[in-house]
Structure formats: structure tokens, C-alpha cells
Amino acid sequence: MRNGYITKRQQNGCRNQVVKAEHNGQYSLQQSYSRKMNMYSLDYDVPEAPCSPPFSVNGPSLTDVCNGNSATLFLSMINMLAAYSSIINGMCDRITPIKRPQFIYDFIVVGGGAAGSVVAARLSEIKNWNVLLVEAGPDELPGMQIPSNLQLYLNTKLDWNYKTTNESYACLRYNGSCSWPRGKNLGGCTSHHGMAYHRGHAKDYDRWMEMGNAGWSWKDVLPYFFKSEDNKEIGRIRAEDHATGGPMTVERFPWQPQFAWDILTAAKETGLGVSEDLVGQNITGFTVAQTISRNGVRLSTARAYLWPNRNRKNLHVALNAIVTKVNTMKNSSKVKTVGITFIMNGQQYNVIAKKEVILTAGAINSPQLLLLSGIGPKRHLDSVGIRTVVDLPGVGENLHNHASYGVDFSLSETHIDELNINNADTYLYNQTGPLASTGLAQVTGILASNYTTADDPDIQFFFAGYQAICNTDGRIEDLKMYDNKQTVRFIAVNIQTLSRGRLILASKNPLSPPIIWSNDLAHPQDRSIIYQGIQYILKLSQAETMKKYNLKMIDTIIPECEQYKKNGEMNYAYWDCKFRYDTRPENHQAGTCKMGPSSDPMAVVNPALKVYGIDGLRVADASIMPQMISGNPVASINMIGERVTDFIKNDYKVMNN
């Protein structure tokens, strides 16, 4: 039976059933929980289905990523039921990885994240093109599909675990080293991210055009956002701003805590404004975000683009396969891409790309791979003993990210754990309730500081709290509880970063992480924008609607910053110090393989995303953005994936067949 597995006890007609199997892979924990015994039974049958086994993917389970305590059995039950649910875990829809590659492909795509999944899926639409997608990590795990588990698998082996170094203006509490998590699995960061759907706005892309990138204006890119989108909320939001029928489902989570709606009321009361749709008519204000999810289940880009095409004979996916080099050949004055080298299951493969290699390994790994392949600044390559193939000074430069600061408030209400038996039961049964959401992380807002105008806003707001997540014992940054009270976090993000850092190789060992220097917050305007965001946050927290919660700001003491307080007053100098000590790097890194015209000596790719000075090699991910867009970037990176495949199809004069 494909869906809905029956337990042994059900088959035996036993009254005290353990796992109540529902239709279509939906389950209920309710009757499996013996209140008297205060424990769960783990009695179940393995399904007889022509699908991959639910635990075929090796990786941490919920019990591994949560703090081991009395809830262990409860967590392992959720993990198991999620794994066996075809709706949540989709074991009948997943791709089957190859055991070994062919010797030659038409196209090789490196990295299966927000861009790579799109590129591999779209290229393999052409039946006579053979496509290999190579991903360093494994497939996504069952527990990752539950929205409330946002970030839960970071800082495990499914994370590249990058750390920046030598920061003078950021993360000073951690000796100038910021944590930069990056997904190392099929889906890349889209299997870990907050799922908020945003596109930036018209001015972002028009700025790219002004930098010399013809064909990237808002008018040019909008059709590609539409191509990937399947919006489920047309009616509540305007049809002309959205599209249906694409692979990326965009919806709202089915559950919001009351506090989420109260933030919107507070925004109205304080004149900060509310928007029904931040990518529609009103690009500023506060809103409950639309999310990239499908019926209450996370929708990574791999799930959206690759899973439906799992049966294509011309699409091969290699997992746990780390690319170590792009191989090139010099013929008179021309350099040409030959293929790649990668390591899978301890074995090294050299695979040829007949047409092109497309790097979609993200803002850290794409430039790292170029450098390892001898494409980058000659002086740096000489210093690590790599022969220069193309002297391209911009590789690894122009690194930037969004940075933010979060203010915590404790509420008068007692903390209630949203991860409880009833909510888990609701989720497993019909993918609704708190587990089908990210709590307050689904609320966002966008406003303009006094450096800009409302049509080009530069501050975004995120929130945290009311998330049905287990205790990770500090492995990821948890919201702390104070006096057993509910706690919430209001975060102000600068979304128009002026500071720039760089990334270089630590050595020529492809498995060593690069040296990353973000230089976050070095530009005073970047800190000043966050400060203006904090003033909006304080205003919001004092709104009439918020009074019932009796919000109390938790002002964590940073000894180095106390000197700036004047008569206890939290002035600009004090906040400025706090931003530098307790910096919150967002996860929107970009710019390290900058797109630009040939006249720009720091450009790495041209507007068709071809790497300068070499044939048959493109980069298409967050690294090509000359300036990160002013919002959450996944939809924009999907758009880049859609665009590059159209560039390629045009170059080869092919139509989909």
C-alpha cells in the first residue's frame, strides 16, 4: 500500500492501537500516546511501497539535533511519523542519486541549492542534453520538512559551518568572528531557511542596470519571477503582481500566533504602516509574509524543481559528491572549460562537460572553486601555490551580507511550549498548527531610513518567538526564556549594505574552508541604518496594542559598551557599540563573483553570467549579485537560475521539447 501504513496492532484488530494510520500518509499521534504509561510505543510496520525507504538518507534525527531529555521518545516519534508520511517526507517523490557518473555530459551543474536545482531542472527539459548535478551534501532529512524546525539542522554536518575572521566592527563578543551557516545538502540553504518570499524591489535591479548590466532591469527580471511562482493567494493579493503554475508554491503558513496580528495592529497604530503584500503595490509596512512552502510543508528549491523531474533519464544527480576543481585547457590564447573533478564515496572522478559547467555553489563556495581552479587574482593564487589560468582580480572580492541587531522583550504571560503533543498531532494529521509555521519569524516589515526614500527602502524587520522548536542547548542561537515568561525578539536589518569584505583561500587544499573577512558594519552608515530601525522597533513596542503584553526590554550588559550610557540613557554611541559586539549576521551573503560589464576590472561574470577570459564556464547564484537585493533573496536567486538557463538555451538556439 503506497500511502497510509497500517500498524500490526490494527491488522490484528487490537483496540489499543499504536500509530493511527490515516489516508494519504497522514498520521495521528493522539492514540499512540498512552497517558497512563506516559510513553510511546514504537510498534509499526515497514511499508511495502516502491519508494525509497523513509530513512534512506543518513543524517541527524530530531533526537540528535534537540537537547536530549525526557522528550526523547516524543521527538523520535515525530521524526519517525514525519519520515513515514508521504506528504511530509515525500519518499515516493525524491530523486534517486547516481552510484557513479558517466564519463561525459553536455552540462555539469555544481551545487544543488536555490540556483543549482533550477538550472539542472530547466536544462534537462531539453531531452537530448545530458545534465549532471553534483551536490556536496546528502538529500534533505524528514525533520527538515517541518517548517517550525527552521534552522534546527544548522551547526550539524548538514552545514558548512563557516566562520568569518578578523572583524573589527562585527561580532566583537566572539573575538571578531561571525558564524555563517550554509546548507550542505540537496536544497542548499533552502532546506534550512525561513521560507519568507520576497523579491527586493524595482530599484534594486535598476541599480544593477546602472552598473552596466544590460538586461537586468526590473522589467527584464519580473517575467522570470513569474516563471518560477505558483501563488496560492491570488484574491487576497493582486493577480497582476504574481503568477501561478510555476514550480515554487507561495502561500501563507496556516497558523499565526496572536502576537503576529498584534504587531500589525501596532504598526497601524504607530503610523508605521501595514502592507498586504510587500512585493505588490505597497513595498513598505509590516505584514505576515508569504512563504515558499506547500500546504504547511517546507518547499526547498530541490523539492520544487528536482523532485517532479526525478524520472528524467537525462538528469543525473550525484550526492555526497564534493567538487574540488573546474578543469580547463589552454589552446593558443584561449582558455576553455573541460569539466570537473569531484570526490564521491572516497573515489575521485574526472567528468567532461561537452558544452558548459555552471557553478551554483553559493556566495562562498563558487568563488572558492574558481580560485582552486586557478581563476582569480594572480598575486593571491601565487601565494598559495596555484597556477593562474585566468588572472581575474574580482574573484572573492565585493563580499557583503545583510547585518542586523535584535532586541529581546519579555512578556507578562507565562511561557507555553508550542512543541507539545497536541500541536505535533495536529501537524502530523493535516500539516496545520504551530509546527506548520515559523511562529513570529513569518512576520516582517520594510521601511526607509532617512538616507533614502520610500520607493527604495533600506530597513527590514524580522521577529522571533512562539516557534514550536525543541531546545538545542545553545547549538543554534535560541531565544532565551526569562523568569519562565514568554520572550520575543524584534530585529532591525540594514538591507542596503555599503561595507565590503573579501574571501581568499587558506591553502590549495580544496577541503579547507576559505578565509572569510566580511568587514560587516565597517561603514558607519550601515550601523546608522540599524539604529534607525531600532527606533522604529521601540516605537512599535510602545503601541497601545502591545500594552496588554507588558513588554520589558532585556538589556543584556556588554561591559565594553556601558561607558557610552549617559545617565543611564541608551544613546546612539551605546547602541552603535552593541551592534558591533552582538552583531546578527543575516544569511544573505552575495557579491563574490560580481556581474559587471567588461569595462569593470572587478567584474567576474558578464551579464550573460559567463566567466570573463574562459569559454564554457558560468556562475549563477547569489555570488553574481553586484549588490544584494533589499529583502530575502531566495526568489531572486531562483530568478537568476531561470535566467541563466534561458541565456544558455538561446545561445544553443534550442526550444524546450
Ligand X SMILES: Cc1cc2nc3c(=O)[nH]c(=O)nc-3n(C[C@H](O)[C@H](O)[C@H](O)COP(=O)(O)OP(=O)(O)OC[C@H]3O[C@@H](n4cnc5c(N)ncnc54)[C@H](O)[C@@H]3O)c2cc1C
Yes or no: say if 300 and 191 are a contact pair by the CB < 8 Å rule: yes
The grid coordinates listed for 51 are 519508494
**135 touches ligand X by CB under 6 A:** yes
112, 176, 246, 434: which one binds ligand X (CB under 6 A): 112
Q: Does residue number 201 form part of the binding site for ligand X (CB under 6 A)? A: no
Q: Judged by CB, which is closer to ligand X: 137, or 257? A: 137
Complex with ligand X: residue 248 or 561, whichever CB lies closer: 248
Task: Indicate the residue among 199 and 580 with the shorter CB distance to ligand X.
Answer: 199
Choices 9-17, 134-142, 401-409, 482-490; region in contact with ligand X by CB under 6 A: 134-142
Q: How buried is residue 295: exposed, middle or buried, by Cβ count under 10 Å (0-12/13-18/19+)?
A: middle
Q: Measured between alpha carbons, how far is 186 from 207 in angstroms, rounded to an integer? A: 32
Q: Tell me the window of 52-60, 358-366, 452-460, 496-504 that interacts with ligand X (CB under 6 A).
A: 358-366
Give the count of alpha carbons within 13 A of 242, CB side only. Answer: 25
The 3-state secondary structure of 353-418 reads EEEEEEECCHHHHHHHHHHHCCEECHHHHHHCCCCCCEECCCCCCCEECCEEEEEEEEEEEECCCC
3-state secondary structure 493-511: EECCCCCCEEEECCCCCCC
CB of 230 to ligand X, least distance (A): 16
Catalytic residue among 193, 201, 402, 588: 588
Residues in contact with ligand X, shown as a per-residue x/- string from 160 to 199 under the rule CB under 6 A: ---------------------xxxx---xxx-xxxxx---
Q: Which of 80, 110, 243, 537 binds ligand X (CB under 6 A)?
A: 110
- Give me the least distance between CB of 641 and ligand X, in Å please: 8
Confirm or reject binding of residue 629 to ligand X (CB under 6 A).
no
Residues contacting 14, CB < 8 A, separation 6+: none
Q: Closer CB to ligand X, residue 154 or residue 577?
A: 154
Main-chain dihedrals φ then ψ at residue 368, nearest 5 degrees = -60, -45
CB of residue 44 to ligand X, shortest distance in Å: 32
The minimum distance between CB 58 and ligand X, in angstroms, equals 16
Least distance in Å: CB of 10 to ligand X?
39
Select from 164, 404, 632, 645 the one that contacts ligand X (CB under 6 A).
Answer: 632
Q: How far is the CB of 315 from ligand X (least distance, A)?
A: 16
Regarding 637 and contact with ligand X (CB under 6 A), the answer is yes
Between strands 390-391 and 375-376, the pairing is parallel
- Cβ–Cβ under 8 Å, residues 314 and 98: no
By beta carbon distance, the residue nearest ligand X is 113
| Residue number with CB closer to ligand X (26 or 587) | 587
Considering the complex, state which of residue 114 and residue 464 has its C-beta at the smaller distance from ligand X: 114
219 vs 216: CA distance, rounded Å: 8
323 binds ligand X (CB under 6 A): yes
How far is residue 426's CA from residue 436's CA, in Å, rounded to a whole number? Answer: 9
Least distance in Å: CB of 261 to ligand X? 20
Instruction: Measure the CA–CA gap between 83 and 428, rounded to whole angstroms.
Output: 10
Distance, in Å, from the CA atom of 591 to the CA atom of 622, rounded to the nearest integer, reads 7
Q: Does 527 bind ligand X (CB under 6 A)?
A: no
Does 118 interact with ligand X (rule: CB under 6 A)? no
Binding-site member from 529, 577, 593, 634 for ligand X (CB under 6 A): 634
17 binds ligand X (CB under 6 A): no
Alpha-carbon distance of 450 to 435, in angstroms, equals: 38
Q: Can residue 114 be called a binding residue for ligand X (CB under 6 A)?
A: yes
Query: What does the DSSP assignment read for 306-324?
Result: TGGGTT-TTEEEE-SEEEE
When asked if residue 365 is in the footprint of ligand X (CB under 6 A), the reply is yes
Asked if residue 131 belongs to a known ligand binding site, the reply is no
- Crossing angle, helix 421-430 and helix 72-84, to 10 degrees? 10
Q: Is 361 in the site for ligand X (CB under 6 A)?
A: yes
Instruction: Return the amino acid letter for 616.
Output: G
Whether 588 sits among the annotated catalytic residues: the reply is yes
In order of 115, 140, 367, 563, the CA distances from 578 in angstroms are 35, 36, 32, 12
What are the C-alpha distances in Å from 78 to residues 94, 158, 475? 20, 20, 21
> Which residues of the shown chain bind ligand X in the complex (CB under 6 A)?
110-116, 134-137, 151, 181-184, 188-190, 192-196, 322-323, 360-363, 365, 369, 587-588, 621-622, 632-634, 637
Binding residues for FAD: 323
* Active-site annotation, residues: 588
Binding residues: 323
